[in-house]
Amino acid sequence: MSRTIIVGSGPAAAGAALALAEDPTQEILVVDIGTRLEAEAANIVDELGRSESDEWRSDQVKIISRQPVPTSRRALPEKRVYGSDFPFRDEGQLRGVSAMVGANRAVVSSAYGGFSNVWGSQLMPFSKATFGHWPFTLQELEPHYRRILDHVPMSGAIDDLAELFPLFREPRPLPTLAPRTRQVIGDYGRHRERLRRDGITVGKARLALRGGECVRCGLCMTGCPYRLIYSSAQTFDQLISEGRVKYLPGLLVFRVEESESGARLFARETVSGQTQELEGDRIFLAAGALGSTRIALNSLRWFDERIELAESAQFTVPMLSRRRTPDPRADGEMTLNQFNMIVVLDDVGLDVSQIHFYPYNPAITEALPRVLQSGWGSVLGDEVLRRLTVGLGYLPSWASPRLRVQAVPSAGEADLPEIHLSGTRDGVLGNGLLRKVVRRLVTAAPFLDLWPVVPMVSCSAPGKSYHWGGSFPHSSGVSGTRHTSDMLGRVGGWRRIHLVDASVFPSVAATTFTFTIMANAHRIGSEVRGL
């Protein structure tokens, strides 16, 4: 038997574990902090999940549907899942992490399932052109995208988005979509040729969702009681129950090392503070781009030097329509992303911005100015809600400011190094690519009846997109160097320790990247099995 230790339980860890689990001679040990939903909320979710939605008690729904919590003026609110902040809770993994004013400090999750507990569930691959700057092609990664879809549900539609972003298999149907979504899809169909000439493509969302079972209860953004939205915790639940994975929670890994015959990790128990050592034939670091980078810097003793990460900058654009829809508060809707707009600014599909459009959810009402929420102002507020669609967009990393990380050795031997996260959003609104995107939105507005409120376009704070990586980007070299990893995610001369998350991405496209994280981790796991 060959023993591989995986650090973390997020999407990258799941992709690697699925690849390793295909080999019966592999012993897979997952080491994780493993924070979980509190027992009271978990019991409520279990109870609601066993009953029909029209039987749910309002007091229980209120407990598990807490809305996002504001964090700073320049950032989207921090999501809650089933009323809890457990995906963001600091169990030691954020100790010693500081950030410049306005930057996101919650950069590493302690949760079982990582940030996939709160992700938007979009399943879009990177375009073929994106891989032109990678040491392997979309064609080489395609089998691994397909293998991930053997385990992750996908709901969506076959439409124009497939020209740049292959589906790899026929999707399951989405739930019934909101009136505004149906209007936009219809308008796009009528004006398709005109919009395509301007580089605008519109298509339905692709979601890691069991869409056929959705009852449109409206709780998608705060946690589905039926657990229809995929989380990597679901993959590990299955692998653990099948006996393919042994799971050790309550451990914070702070250092790894290797020898000629194996690899070793050092972890601190989060409850007792005691140190444990675990040995295996190989170690996969899948603690998220920042988490794995921090462990690697500590293990290689690479301190007091600036490491840069690529981030796909996030922006928000509210859109108003001339045609009103029925009051969106009257009926339940699937509140995940419902349709996507792709803005292509070149001839090959590289300089692309993707915008996800969301229907109404209660957080939108809470975000309205107070004057529109009560009294006479509520009449105008009602009209706004009937005409408002919120777009959440991304720019590719090569058109976005970079994040910078610097590690300083900690005082304790059993601690991760202190790190400072910095970056800037100064000038992003004047960014050439973003200006072009906004101009295209204005041009498309008469045909889609989606009018961007240009003065209210805003960019999220550094690190808030959660779409970042590339601290040790893949290179085609035989072995990793101080600034790159090899094709198997090995850096600094390592042979048995592999980074398998977004820390090895050469770039971060503007499309959603969790699908590519899982596929690339599956690729590395598959290739390592043969060594």
| CATH number for 526 | 3.50.50.60
Look at residue 431 and tell me whether its pLDDT is greater than 70: no
Q: Is residue 271 part of a domain?
A: yes
Q: Are residues 346 and 434 in the same domain?
A: yes
Average pLDDT of span 312-330: 89
Higher pLDDT, residue 292 or 66: 292
> For 495, phi and psi rounded to 5 degrees?
-120, -25
Single out the residue of 461, 221, 224 nearest to residue 356, CA to CA.
221
Q: Are residues 299 and 344 in the same domain?
A: no
- DSSP reduced 3-state for 422: strand
Q: Are residues 251 and 147 in the same domain?
A: yes
Q: Is residue 21 part of a domain?
A: yes
Q: Is residue 299 part of a domain?
A: yes
Q: What is the tens place of the pLDDT at every residue in 219-247?
A: 998 999 999 999 999 999 999 999 999 99
CB hemisphere CA count around 410 (13 angstroms) = 20
Q: Of 85, 105, 124, which residue sits at a domain end?
A: 85
Whole-number average pLDDT of the chain: 91
DSSP assignment of 322-386 equals SS--S-TTSS----S--EEEEEE-SSSS-SEEEEEEE---HHHHHHS-GGGTSTTHHHHHHHHHH
Q: Are residues 168 and 221 in the same domain?
A: yes
Range of the domain at 277: 1-30+89-152+230-307+405-418+468-530
Q: Is residue 399 part of a domain?
A: no
Q: Are residues 326 and 373 in the same domain?
A: yes
pLDDT score of 429? 59
pLDDT score of 75? 55
Q: Is residue 318 part of a domain?
A: yes
Q: Is residue 93 part of a domain?
A: yes
Domain total in the chain: 3
| Token code pair at residue 308 | 């840069």
Query: How far apart are alpha carbons 530 and 15 in whole angstroms?
Result: 17
pLDDT score of 445? 97
pLDDT score of 460? 85
Query: How far apart are alpha carbons 479 and 473 in whole angstroms?
Result: 12
pLDDT score of 13? 98
pLDDT score of 103? 80
pLDDT score of 428? 61
Q: Is residue 199 part of a domain?
A: yes
| CATH number for 219 | 3.30.410
Q: Is residue 319 part of a domain?
A: yes
Q: Which of 282-291, 324-333, 336-345, 520-529 has the lowest mean pLDDT?
A: 324-333
Q: Are residues 59 and 170 in the same domain?
A: no
Q: Are residues 252 and 366 in the same domain?
A: no
Look at residue 254 and tell me whether its pLDDT is greater than 90: yes
Instruction: Round to the nearest angstrom and report the end-to-end CA distance of the chain.
Output: 13
Q: Which of 25-39, 173-187, 301-315 has the lowest mean pLDDT?
A: 301-315
pLDDT score of 11? 98
Q: What is the tens place of the pLDDT at every residue in 148-198?
A: 999 999 999 999 999 999 999 999 999 999 999 999 999 999 999 999 999
Q: Are residues 174 and 290 in the same domain?
A: no
Q: Are residues 8 and 133 in the same domain?
A: yes
Q: Are residues 238 and 264 in the same domain?
A: yes
Q: Are residues 370 and 273 in the same domain?
A: no
Q: Are residues 26 and 172 in the same domain?
A: no
Please report which confidence band the pLDDT of residue 209 belongs to, taking 50, 70 and 90 as the band edges.
very high
